Structure 1
């Protein structure tokens, strides 16, 4: 088992500690903003940086992945719990704890039963659409905060937009000025001096301005008093029906985090030359979420932006996460008074700039250029998430994933080499060159497992190729050779379709032979009774040669 601080040496200790201070400067303002997005007090975001962070860092296999609530998770929490309790109430906070615990249990189950592959159903277009819809919903709330306009942040997207538009007349000029300055500093600073924690710089400068100029008296909204003290161990006590009501949203949180978290973990492991364990990472997410639910926080996921920031800072261990936890604890013990006068427009600007990349504009443009169907999948997921809700969005995402999978599986590449001795061409794609057959022989290669989605398609392809060979004047077809090299499996439905094809071949007096059958596939087709007394040859050339000699 990998040590919690694997990769740490006396040579990189200072660099890792410095990266931890940078992470602290980035995480505190963002987590305060994410807690507000989720409809929770600032402490919920700060508590996530202590116990959950420590637990996760002690268990995870990745040396760099940073665990924390992110914008998408916060929006999911708000959209899913908003219909069950009033944002800001004690019941609402309790439901957020229960949701994190459910998500933690699901992560642990995924790890124990090695079911992380389920997240693979969330393809890139689906993730882009789902996260993009959440991001745009968040952005509207942050724009209202930046303008000083009061809207119902827990409402539907259309209601938020309507509230923002109708409330423009109440916008506060000082709030607009703080927001504009904050956005300018964040964007320009990130472009030219990316190593500087500009979010912290913006918070400090905006807070000093508000305090010295007493802008809170001029209508600028501030964070307000933040309770001091460490997180306390707790456990949500709710009715079992509420636990059931939280299951779909917890499942959505789990799947989105699994898809993104495992991808980021693997990519950085490959990039920096260390091994990662997907199941162990899922287990770490599970324990981290259980810790979040038991320490007053909310659902924890992977932070791609913070992980990238740590990589750029030269960090190659989990030490920055421990520095983050220690620094946040000290802040909660001795420095919460410093947080009270932070202006909300500055928080809105920080969160707004952070989620801009999540809108997926470049990704959608790329999908439009490369694959219109994939673009449509992402767009539908985006619109459903935005206008119907996050849970329907994730359901639609899975349905679209299955449709996309079925569409591709039902149309496999079927290469056909006809009796004339020239490549006959694939029914779907160009046939490979350089392979020829003897007169009266057709070789067909199915480049996929034979199963319920393509069994009938394969049978029709065989009939079509035989008829096409005859119509071309190449004489009667007497032998069919099926190249089985790419057929890794056969299911019962596929076998039934195959039997129907065999009946047709017998009626047409066409012999059947198999070529290059894989050992595992051979066992399967024998079990299904498809082989019988039919001959099997190791290569296409051997099969064709034997058949040709039989015709002499």
Structure 2
């Protein structure tokens, strides 16, 4: 079991603490923006930096992963809860309840050791889903930067049309401030990545706004932020209201599971330490329950903040603890400093953070490698924009299953080339099924044999031997890659074997796994007349000796 703050030594404690100060500078402006994306008060974003962050840092197995709300999760919170429209329940209460259910689902998944399920959301699907959410966030932030208020809960394409038709309402001062902030943020990312550009921009913009009274000239500001530590309470909802929130909470849990486990594993592999996926799920679960009870909203893995800490050389969870303590001090003594922050600049900060989530480079790379999978990613983007986050997630799962079934139903199947030298390798796969000089055809099937692909193997054997004109005397099925067989797959192979027998062609198996032999025997695939060989090379040698030269056609 990993001790808290694993990797922390007296040699790196100063570096880790300073990294925590940087993390605080990055996280405060981002969480203010993410709370606004989620339709929640600023305090909900700040509360997420205290108790949930501390709980996560003390429980997680990863030394580097930072837990916090992110843009995609905030968009999912807003879209899903707006779509529910639960009567008699306010947004903060629903968001807190959603976080609790999400946390309980993650704790249950950890208890059942379901961390491996994170592997079942493929990269194209995850990139596409997050990109769809990011587009919704980006549109809302563009409106904020222009000083235009879009209708709450509107559909993505309706909001685009609304924004275009209302461009005449643009606040010139808001747009200028946002453009200046964007330029500084992008320049900071390019030329001074270690400086917390977001914090610097917010401080400068706030000073300018207060000094010149821009809030009285049409520039929206954050306004009053209640001071004090996080308050703890159980969300007051009826049973039917709790039940209505479950689907969106499970969607959040799934995204947290997929992103969190994969990012945690990637950094552990990169930096040479081990993580426990199920323990990480428990940490996310506990953090989300803490978020809900402290009137915040769902937290997940923050890839941008984790990357920033990695660049600074941080290899422990001390920065997250510094973040929690610093955020608490801000809530106690510094909320007055936040009142004059201009909303257009918050929109610029969030927009720059969200740009990375659009996945343009990832989708281009996927398209170069596989157009089919790139199309799946694109479909997920449209699914989120048209169907909403829950509908988009369901579409992602359907596409994932279709992709899985498509691949399983069409595994690699081909004939091995058989050289004249009996000691030579039999590893080359040929596109055309060609027997050797003794009429032996070796076929390799690289998948479990089940209901989805049994017909594929049977069809290949039929096509390969239908017009052989006596050139093929026996078929050897190299079964090393067959890891399982079910009733339907066995029936398909049995029919293929009967068809071969009717044509006077023998059938043999080579390299059949010992644990599968009993199942093959139970399904009647090892009847008398079916040859069995320990190796394919032995099968070819024996059959060459048995059949000799091929008979005339």
**TM-score (norm. length: structure 1):** 0.94
* CA distance in 2 between partners of 1:476 and 1:339 (Å): 84
Residues 369-410 of structure 1: CA deviation (Å, up to 9, x unaligned): 332211211111111111221111011101111111111111
Deviation at 1:173, TM superposition (A): 1.4
* CA distance in 2 between partners of 1:417 and 1:147 (Å): 65
Give secondary structure in 1 for the equivalent of 2:314. Answer: coil
Q: Number of matched residues?
A: 540
Unaligned stretches of 5+ residues in structure 2: 422-427, 549-553
Give secondary structure in 1 for the equivalent of 2:509. Answer: strand
Number of the residue aligned with 1:537: 533
Give secondary structure in 1 for the equivalent of 2:415. Answer: strand
Matches within 5 A, 1:86-97: 91-97=90-96
Number of the residue aligned with 2:246: 247
Deviation at 1:536, TM superposition (A): 1.6
Residues 163-189 of structure 1: CA deviation (Å, up to 9, x unaligned): 222221121111112111110110001
Please, which moves more after superposition, 224-233 or 491-500? 491-500
Corresponding position: 1:13 with 2:13: yes
* CA distance in 2 between partners of 1:258 and 1:469 (Å): 53
* CA distance in 1 between partners of 2:103 and 2:467 (Å): 58
* CA distance in 1 between partners of 2:416 and 2:268 (Å): 44
Residues 301-333 of structure 1: CA deviation (Å, up to 9, x unaligned): 000000000011111100000000000000111
Please, which moves more after superposition, 49-58 or 103-112? 103-112
Corresponding position: 1:504 with 2:499: yes
Give secondary structure in 1 for the equivalent of 2:55. Answer: helix
User: Given that residues 98 and 292 in structure 2 are in contact (C-alpha distance below 8 angstroms), is that contact kept between their aligned partners in structure 1?
Assistant: yes
Deviation at 1:121, TM superposition (A): 2.5
Please, which moves more after superposition, 147-156 or 98-107? 147-156
Number of the residue aligned with 1:51: 51
* CA distance in 2 between partners of 1:114 and 1:525 (Å): 32
Number of the residue aligned with 1:354: 353
Deviation at 1:95, TM superposition (A): 1.2
* CA distance in 1 between partners of 2:144 and 2:487 (Å): 58
User: Given that residues 54 and 325 in structure 1 are in contact (C-alpha distance below 8 angstroms), is that contact kept between their aligned partners in structure 2?
Assistant: yes
* CA distance in 2 between partners of 1:495 and 1:333 (Å): 69
Cα distance change, pair 303–542 in 1 and its aligned pair in 2 (3 A) = same
Residues 330-360 of structure 1: CA deviation (Å, up to 9, x unaligned): 0111111111111101100000010011111
Corresponding position: 1:481 with 2:480: no
Please, which moves more after superposition, 250-259 or 191-200? 250-259
Number of the residue aligned with 2:370: 371
* CA distance in 2 between partners of 1:21 and 1:276 (Å): 25
User: Given that residues 153 and 160 in structure 1 are in contact (C-alpha distance below 8 angstroms), is that contact kept between their aligned partners in structure 2?
Assistant: no
Cα distance change, pair 90–280 in 1 and its aligned pair in 2 (3 A) = same
* CA distance in 2 between partners of 1:419 and 1:128 (Å): 44
Root-mean-square deviation (CA), in Å? 2.1
Deviation at 1:523, TM superposition (A): 3.3
Deviation at 1:421, TM superposition (A): 6.9
Number of the residue aligned with 2:129: 130
Cα distance change, pair 394–421 in 1 and its aligned pair in 2 (3 A) = farther
* CA distance in 2 between partners of 1:307 and 1:526 (Å): 53
User: Given that residues 435 and 441 in structure 2 are in contact (C-alpha distance below 8 angstroms), is that contact kept between their aligned partners in structure 1?
Assistant: no
Cα distance change, pair 418–63 in 1 and its aligned pair in 2 (3 A) = closer
Greater than 4 Å deviation, 4+ residue runs: 417-422
User: Given that residues 89 and 237 in structure 2 are in contact (C-alpha distance below 8 angstroms), is that contact kept between their aligned partners in structure 1?
Assistant: no
Cα distance change, pair 432–83 in 1 and its aligned pair in 2 (3 A) = closer
Number of the residue aligned with 1:220: 219
User: Given that residues 222 and 343 in structure 1 are in contact (C-alpha distance below 8 angstroms), is that contact kept between their aligned partners in structure 2?
Assistant: yes
Number of the residue aligned with 2:411: 412
Number of the residue aligned with 1:425: none
* CA distance in 2 between partners of 1:526 and 1:228 (Å): 73
Give secondary structure in 2 for the equivalent of 1:520. Answer: helix
Cα distance change, pair 531–239 in 1 and its aligned pair in 2 (3 A) = farther
